[in-house]
A = this chain, B = another copy of it.
Amino acid sequence: MDTKAEAEADARMLVGMVVFDGFQLLDVFGPLEMFGALRDKVRIVILAERSGPVASSAGPSIGVDYTFDTVPDLGVLLVPGGAGTRREVNNAHLVDRLKSLAIKTPNVATVCTGAAVLARTGLLDGLKATTNKRAFAWASGQGDQVHWVKRARWVEDGKYFTSSGISAGMDMALALIAKLFGRQTAVGVANGAEYRWNEDAHDDPFAGLYGLAD
């Protein structure tokens, strides 16, 4: 871990991923794979309420670089989903810290049920957003002033990007990379990962699979 001063002296954009106990593996590491390919442009940091390793819902644990109180200014803030969100939506400390950080960060993105946690900050009120399709009823219930979009791979509204479930985070991350660094950079990242980018945000076969009408 670098000091906050060292991180801020680095000219690269800081991309910060929030983690909490029970985060979904691919929600975190799918987007980080895409941003991680841009080593000359971005630096990835992991943040959590407390220092020390944090366990995913599948078992493997990740190291934490910063707490919410020590994290340097970010260019992108990412929030994953996972079973742990069922607890974190009621964690007033995390929701409060997340709100403060999201307000001052120029790009904020959620994957899967991460949108439920962000919705609890109130920052999505009046905006369009999407979330996991199988858990849509629960997740959308965490923000009744949000304009939840049922059929969408991801939704962009101002500085907020919200993606559908789990693997959709990779498609959204590439869209965010395209916004920040240009489409050709995003295509290059996808090809480098031998990943077929679902580049059409409206192409979402899973909404129908889980019975969500338009």
> Chain B: which residue is nearest A166 at the CB level?
B193
Interface flag for A9 (CB, 8 Å): no
Q: Can you report 14 A-B residue pairs in the complex whose CB atoms are below 8 A from each other?
A: A17-B60, A29-B30, A29-B33, A29-B60, A30-B30, A36-B58, A37-B58, A61-B62, A62-B63, A132-B194, A133-B194, A165-B194, A168-B194, A191-B209
Q: How far, in Å, is A130 (CB) from chain B's closest CB?
A: 11
Q: How far is the CA of A205 from the CA of B193 in the complex (A)?
A: 12
User: Could you say which residues of chain B place their CB within 8 Å of the CB of A46?
Assistant: 60
Measured as residues with beta carbon below 8 angstroms from the partner, the interface class of chain A is 35 or more
Q: Name the contact of A192 in the complex, choosing from B29, B62, B134, B164 (C-beta under 8 A).
A: B134
Contact code string A143-176 (vs B, CB < 8 Å = 1, else 0): 0000000000000000000001111101000000
Contact A59 B33 (CB under 8 A): no
Contact code string A116-158 (vs B, CB < 8 Å = 1, else 0): 0000000000000000111000000000000000000000000
